Structure 1
Amino acid sequence: MAGSRSNQLVVPQANQAIQQLKLEAAQELGVQIPQDGYYGNVSTRDAGSLGGYITKKLVQIAEQQLSGGSR
């Protein structure tokens, strides 16, 4: 299923970092990540929590970079 997605990364090399961020978010929130990578069976609440957490972390990283701070 992963090959049929329509989203394209602007920086394809960032894929590993994004996957790591997903894993960290899932661990922090106690959400079980599907082994096959298919998120269709993840509850809407869990998927929303993951998305919100990831967005929050990405904003924090961007703010740190813009302020000249390190991660």
Structure 2
Amino acid sequence: MSRVLIPEAKQGLATFKNEVAGELGVPFKEYNGDLSSRQCGSVGGEMVKRMIQDYESHIK
């Protein structure tokens, strides 16, 4: 059973995901079963890349 530690994070990550998807031209919507793994993976990969860059910029 999963437990939500920070409820606000879910909406924030959804917003971030939609922003990245829009910038990459991936048509995210309520149902994404018609998208390829490459399309979905590109969004997730870009999100992780940006989160790491943001973290690294704050620790230097």
| TM-score, with length taken from structure 1 | 0.67
Identity score, percent? 35
Runs of at least 5 residues in structure 2 that lack an aligned partner in the other structure: none
**Aligned runs of 1:1-71 on 2, under 5 Å?**
10-34=5-29, 36=30, 38-67=31-60
Aligned residues: 60
| Superposition CA RMSD, Å | 2.1
Structure with the higher fraction of residues in helix conformation: 2
Runs of at least 5 residues in structure 1 that lack an aligned partner in the other structure: 1-5
Work out which structure has the larger RCO, using CA pairs closer than 8 Å and 6 or more positions apart in sequence: 2
| TM-score, with length taken from structure 2 | 0.76
For 1:64 and 1:55, locate their aligned partners in 2 and report how far apart those are by CA, in whole Å. 14
Q: Which runs of 4+ in 1 moved over 2 A?
A: 6-12, 38-41
For 1:55 and 1:8, locate their aligned partners in 2 and report how far apart those are by CA, in whole Å. 22
